[in-house]
Amino acid sequence: MNDLNKNSINPIPHRKVYLIGGGIASLPSAAYFKRDGHINPGNITLYEALIFCKQR
């Protein structure tokens, strides 16, 4: 296991996280990356697909 800023309390500015879906797995993952991964919240992106149905 590497020790890249393991004990750092400052967010890591150059890392970015992309999560697909806003479901039960992505939201806790985003919290984990912020809290334990020290990722800046502005560098965490969630992609959610919305389907709009047109009724006639």
The neighbouring-strand residues paired with 12 are 39
Summarize pLDDT for 31-56 with one digit per residue, the tens.
999 999 989 999 999 998 876 666 66
What is the average pLDDT value for the chain, to the nearest integer? 80
Dihedral, 7, 8, 12, 15 alpha carbons, nearest 10 = 0
Two structure tokens written together for 5: 């800023």
CB 40 within 8 A of CB 12: yes
Query: Domain-by-domain residue ranges, the chain?
Result: 17-41
